[in-house]
Amino acid sequence: MPELPEVENIVVDLRKRILAKKISKVHIRLSKIIKNKKSFFINKVKDSKIVDIQRQGKFIILYLSKDYCLVIHLKISGQLLYLPSSHPLDKYTHLIFEFKNSNDQLRYRDVRQFGYMKLINRSELDDFLSSHIGPDYLSISSQDFAKVLKSRKRIIKSLLLDQKIFSGLGNIYATEALFQAKIHPKAISSVIKDVKIKKLYYAIQNVLRKAIHLGGSSINDYLRPDTSKGRYQQVLKVYQRKGKRCRRCGARISNVKINNRSSYFCPECQRL
């Protein structure tokens, strides 16, 4: 699933390619991807100019000239690919945007079909986002982070992944940040020592910013709009390394299921 670093790289790439372009045509090949009436969606998007592109958590937001925003969530396997119109289409391409005076297209491709797009009036965007996600991990302070952890008695890995508390972090980077901070994924948030919470906050910031710099992690489906891959998977410390030696202490990496998701950790570095 694309997490904050992947989505940030997609937004940066899209700004280079489609910002200020006018959408001339919209081809919807799978209606369930769109969370509006098909006719309404096409009518409002067609002939709109893309005036800004932003990220909030894992959401991509295209600001359009007709006072609407196109909110995109890639979910598990969604991809936004900027390709020549001559590039072959496959059965997993579900939506296509064409642009005025351009032979290139922005295509939405999604093997699992869990991603979606929703057209929202700009005046309603803040309410939509606040009802779905909490503050972005790259915008919160260490004090606010600590306050939330201390006020909730929850398994730390589950709390970190709860998008309504803080947004943008997924399984890969939560796993890596907990390893960097030497915190067991099953530790209870309210009893973690203050010094460890501070280490975790800075570990999250460090991991996310490094992953952004390296273009994200291309482990499964993630590609940037130009179809290039990220490189952060080359420097992973624990994620998907079960049975391999810890790069820090030499112990064997283990894993535990938390909410039916594998959480990798070092049993020596991250003692419960």
- Judge whether 263 and 255 are in contact, CB under 8 Å: yes
State the Cα–Cα distance between residues 158 and 260, nearest whole angstrom: 11
Of 55, 58, 107, 224, catalytic: 58
Of 2, 5, 135, 185, catalytic: 2
Per the structure block, which two tokens stand in for 228? 């290039």
User: Residue 90: how many CB atoms within 10 A of its CB?
Assistant: 9
Query: Is-above-0.85 flag for pTM?
Result: yes
State the Cα–Cα distance between residues 141 and 202, nearest whole angstrom: 10
CA 42 from centroid of its chain's CA atoms: 26
The values of phi and psi at residue 208, to 5°, are: -65, -45
Per the structure block, which two tokens stand in for 211? 């992953």
Asked about 224 being catalytic, the answer comes back as no
The architecture in CATH of the region 142-265 reads Orthogonal Bundle (1.10)
Q: How many percent of the chain have pLDDT more than 70?
A: 100
User: Looking at per-residue confidence, does 220 or 180 come out higher?
Assistant: 180
Q: Report DSSP letters for 133-185, one per residue.
A: ---BTTT--HHHHHHHHHH--SBHHHHHH-TTTSBS--HHHHHHHHHHHT--T
Residue 61: HSE in the Cβ half-sphere, 13 Å Cα cutoff: 19
State the Cα–Cα distance between residues 272 and 269, nearest whole angstrom: 10
Confidence of residue 267 (pLDDT cuts 50, 70, 90): very high
Which three-class secondary structure state does DSSP give residue 122?
A: helix
- b (16+ CB within 10 A) / e for 221-233: bbbbbeeeebebb
Asked about 124 being catalytic, the answer comes back as no
On the question of pLDDT at 220 being above 90, the answer is no
Asked about 164 being catalytic, the answer comes back as no
Per the structure block, which two tokens stand in for 26? 């919209």
Domain ranges across the chain: 4-132, 142-265
Of 152, 186, 198, 261, catalytic: 261
Asked about 109 being catalytic, the answer comes back as no
Q: Which of 11-15, 17-21, 126-130, 217-221 has the lowest mean pLDDT?
A: 217-221
Which residues, 6 or more positions from 127, have their beta carbon under 8 angstroms from its beta carbon?
Answer: none
CATH topology (fold) of 4-132: N-terminal domain of MutM-like DNA repair proteins (3.20.190)
Which three-class secondary structure state does DSSP give residue 217?
A: coil
46-93 confidence digits (pLDDT tens): 999 999 999 999 999 999 998 999 999 999 999 999 999 999 999 999
